[in-house]
Structure 1
Amino acid sequence: MSTNSHSGNDLSEVKQLGMWASITSLGYIFWLVGGMELVERIAYYGVKASAGLYAKSPVSQGGLGIDLHDYGIILAVWAMLQTFIPVITGGISDRVGYKETIFVSTIIKISGYLTMALLPNFWGFLIGAMLLAAGTGVFKPGIQGTLVLSTKRENTSMAWGIFYQVVNIGGFLGPLVAVHMRQLSWDNVFYACAAIISFNFLFLLAYKEPGKADRIERARQVKSGERQQEALWKDALRELIKPIVIYYMLVFAGFWFLYNSLFDVLPIHIAEWVDTSVIVTSLFGPEGTSNGILQFWLGLNNDGTKVMPEGMLNLNAGMIMTTCFLVAAFTAKYRITTTMLFGCILSIAAIMLVGVFNAAWMIVLAIVMFSFGEMMISPKKNEFMGNIAPEGKKAMYLGFVMLPQGIGWTLEGYFAPKLYQIYASKEIISRNELVSRGMSQVDVDSIPQGEAFMRLVDFTGIEAQPLTHMLYEANNIGMAWYIIGAIGIISAVGIFIYGKWLLTMQRQQAA
C-alpha cells in the first residue's frame, strides 16, 4: 500500500477527555440533532425491522406474499440508493446548507412511507423503499456534518458514542411500534412512521447550523473569484480515490454484509425456526403475561405468550441505547482501527452462534455478543472519517462512510436472502417435504406463497412446533450463517492489515 495517500488528511489521534468532561462539553446543537436522528430512526426502523416479515407474509394476512428472491431485489435496490446517494449529497450539504437538505429529506421520506401504505404490492413497496432510501441518503450527511462541526477532537469519541446510543433509542422504539401496529394491520405501520418523521419539522424550527458563516463566506469567495472551487463530482472523486479512503471502503465492506444480515434475515430465521415462547415461559410461567406494558416493551404478541422477532432483535438496540456510552468511554483509550477489529471478530462469533443453535436463549446470547461488537465498530467509523476529513469536507467524508456499507449491504441485500432461501427457507423446505410425503407437484405449486408450512401441518397431522423441530434437524439450516460468517472473517483480516498500514502512516506524519 502506498504511503503517499493522505494529503490534507489529519491522521493524528487526539487524547480524549474523560467521560463526564466529554458529556458536559457537548452543546445544545449536538443534542438537537440527536433528537432529530432519534425521530428519524423510530420511523425508519419501524419499517426496516419488519420488512422481511411483511415481504414473506401471505397476501391473505395482509403481507406482500413474495419469495425471498424478490425481497432480495428490493433490499439490494434500497441498499444501493441509500448508501451511494450520500457520496454526492454529502458534498451538496457542505455547500448548500445542512438545514435545507434535512428539510428536503423529511418530505421525501414521508412520501416513501405513504407509498408503502397505499400500494401494498411488490412495485409499491419497491418504489416506497427507493423514496425512503433517497430521503435517508439526503438526511444523513446533514445530520452527521452538523455533529462534526458541533464537537471538538477531544470529545469526538464520546460524542459519536452518545449519538449512536441516541440512534438506537430510535432503533429500539421503532420495532416496538411496528410489532403492535402490524398486529392491527400492516398499513398502520407505514402511516404511523409517516406521522412520526413529521416531528422533525418542529426540530428544524430550533436548528441553527454551526459553521454557517464560514460556509457563506466560502460561497462568496467562490462567486467573486477569490477562491477556486472544483465541480462537486471532481472534488468528491479526488478525495474518494485517495488510498486511505478506498482501502477503508474495501476492507470494511465485508463487515457490513455481516451486519445487515442480522437485520434483514435474522427476523425471518427467528420467525421460522426459533421457539421464543421458551423465553416467556422462563420469565412469566407457561401462561405468559397479560400485562400490556410488558407486552409492549418486550415486543410480545398480543397474547403475551411469545416474543415477536422484532422484540428479539430489539435487544440489540436496547443494549446499545443503555450501554454505548460506557463502551465508548472504555474504547477511547485504544486506537480506532484496533477497536473496530475486535468489534468485527465479536460480531463474526455471534453470527456463527446463530448458525449452530436455534434455542431461543442461545439466539439471545448471539444478539448480545453482536451488540457489543457493533458498539465497538459502528460509532468508530464516523469518528474515524470525521477526524481525517479536510476542513470544509466533513459531510463529504461522512458520505464516504456509506460506501463500504453500500457495497456490503447491496451485496447482502441480494445474496443473503438468496442464501437463506437455498439453505433455510421454511417455505421451500415445507414444499419439498409435501412432495416427498406424496402430495402432487401440481397441488404443491397451487399453494399460495407463505402458506406451505401450515399446509404441511394439516397434511401430516403433526403440530407446528414438533414439525418445525423435525424439519430443522433434517436440514442444514446453519449453512447460510456459516457462509455469512466466512465473509466477515475475510473482512477482519483486511481490517487488521489496514490498521497496520495506517499506523505506519501516522508515525510518518508525526515525524
Structure 2
Amino acid sequence: LFKPIISGTVARTTTEANSGFGFGIYYWMINLGAFLAPLFVSYLKGFSWSYVFTASAIYCALMLLPALFLYQDPARPASTWTLAEVLGSAAMVLGDARFMLMIFIYSGFWILYFQNFGSVLWFLRDFVDPAPVNRFFASIGIPFSFDAEHVTSINAGTIILLQVVVSRIVKNWKPLPTMIMGMVIGAGGFVCLAFASSAWILVLGIAVFSIGEMTAHPKYYSYVGLVAPADRKAVYMGYAFLYGVIGSLVGSNLGAAMYEAMLKPLVGQTGISPEIRNFWLIFAALDVVAVAGLVVYNRFFAEDTDTSNRLARRIMIVIYAGLIVVGAYFFYSSTFDVETISFRTLVQSLIMLIIGVGGLIISGKRR
C-alpha cells in the first residue's frame, strides 16, 4: 500500500530533469533497510525467531513517527478526483495498452531478481563452500559465517555503495535505453553464477546483477512518472508495481520447479559443472528475451500513436488471456492441490485473475 504512495510523491515532486536521480535516492533508502535487516536477523535468530518478528513490528511502528510529525503532502494538481473517479480511473489504466505492455515486458527481468530469495539461496546451501569468504573476514578480525540471509545484504549493499554514482551517470539518459542496458548487465550477473565455482564468484554475480538492477529500476519508475497524467501519477505508480507480482509469482515458482528438477538430484555429486551452468544460463536467456522485448517496445511502441496503441492493444488481449490461464493454474495449485494453502501464491493468483479479466473487458470496450 505505501510504496505506490511514496513513488507517486516522488513523481509529483520531481521534474523530467531530475526524476531519475530522485528515484535513485528513493531506491537507495529502500536498500539501506534491505542491507541492515538481514544483519540484525543473523544476530537475533541466534536467540529466537520470535525476536526477529518482534523487532520487525517495532521497526514498522517507528516508521510512523516521521510520517506523522515530519512528512508534508506535496501540492495537489489543478484538477482533483473523487474516490469513485480514482477507482474508475484505476480500472481504466488496464486499457492503456502501451503502458501495460511495458510493465509485462519489464517483469521478465524480475523473474531473475526473485531467484535471490529462492534458487540462489538453495544453490549457496547445496553447492557453494562459504569457507573462502569466512576466512577473509577472520583474517581481518571479524567473526563471520556467510549464510543465506547475507545474499540480500550483498544485493542491497552494492546498491547502497553505487546507487548515487550510477544515478548521477545516467541521470540525463533516456529511460528506456537505460533500462535495456541495466537488464543486459543483470544477465551478466547470472552468467557469473553459471560459473560460480567459489563463493567469491557467487558474490560477484550478485553484485553485477545488483548494478544492472540499480541502473534499470530507478529509470523504470522515472519513465512511469513521466508518462502518467499529472492527476493520476499515484494510480499509475500503483500499477507499476505489477512487475513484482508477476516476477515473484512466476520467478519463485519457476525457480523452485527448475531447482527441484535440475539441481537438487545432483547434491553431493562431482563433475556437475555443465548442469549448474545450464541452470543459470536459462535465467540469463530469459532476461535476454525480456531485453529483446524492450528493444522492440522502444522501437515500435515508445511513441503514443494510433498505430502503436492499436497494436499494443492486440498484444495485451493475448497477454490478459494468458494471465487468466496462469492465474487459474496457480489459484488451483495453491488452494486445492496442496495440503497447506499457500496464501501468498493464492493472493498473487487472484490479482492476476482480476487484472486478466478486467483487462480483457476494458480492452474489448476500447476496440
| 1:313/1:367 contact within 8 Å kept | no
Q: Which residue of 2 aligns with 1:218?
A: 80
Q: Which residue of 1 aligns with 2:259?
A: 420
Residue of 290, 310, 331 corresponding to 1:491: 290
| Count of aligned positions | 305
- C-alpha separation between the residues in 2 aligned to 1:364 and 1:354? 9
- Residue 190 (str. 1) matches residue 53 (str. 2): yes
Residue of 113, 118, 130 corresponding to 1:264: 118
Q: How does 1:403-442 map to 2 (within 5 A)?
A: 403-425=242-264, 428-429=265-266
- CA distance 1:416–1:371, change in 2 (3 Å): same
Q: Which residue of 2 aligns with 1:173?
A: 36
**Greater displacement, 338-347 / 479-488:** 479-488
| 2:80/2:231 contact within 8 Å kept | no
RMSD: 2.5
Q: How does 1:352-501 map to 2 (within 5 A)?
A: 352-425=191-264, 428-429=265-266, 468=268, 470-471=269-270, 473=272, 476-501=275-300
- C-alpha separation between the residues in 1 aligned to 2:80 and 2:172? 36
| 2:18/2:171 contact within 8 Å kept | no
- C-alpha separation between the residues in 2 aligned to 1:335 and 1:475? 39
Q: How does 1:40-439 map to 2 (within 5 A)?
A: 138-206=1-69, 207-211=71-75, 218=80, 231-285=85-139, 289=141, 294-295=142-143, 300=144, 306-425=145-264, 428-429=265-266
- C-alpha separation between the residues in 2 aligned to 1:366 and 1:474? 16
TM-score if structure 1 supplies the norm length? 0.55
Larger radius of gyration: 1
Structure 1 alignment gaps of length 5 or more: 1-137, 223-228, 301-305, 431-467
Q: CA deviation at 1:502?
A: 4.5
TM-score if structure 2 supplies the norm length? 0.76
- C-alpha separation between the residues in 2 aligned to 1:145 and 1:505? 22
Q: Per-residue displacement from partner, 1:130-187 (whole Å, max 9, x unpaired)?
A: xxxxxxxx11112222222232332211111111111111110011111111222222
- CA distance 1:191–1:472, change in 2 (3 Å): farther
| 1:424/1:478 contact within 8 Å kept | no
- C-alpha separation between the residues in 2 aligned to 1:321 and 1:475? 34
- C-alpha separation between the residues in 1 aligned to 2:273 and 2:207? 28
- CA distance 1:474–1:262, change in 2 (3 Å): closer
Q: Per-residue displacement from partner, 1:455-492 (whole Å, max 9, x unpaired)?
A: xxxxxxxxxxxxx4x45738823433222222111101
Secondary structure in 2 matching 1:476: helix
Identity %: 25
- C-alpha separation between the residues in 2 aligned to 1:504 and 1:148? 20
Structure 2 alignment gaps of length 5 or more: 308-367
Q: CA deviation at 1:505?
A: 4.7
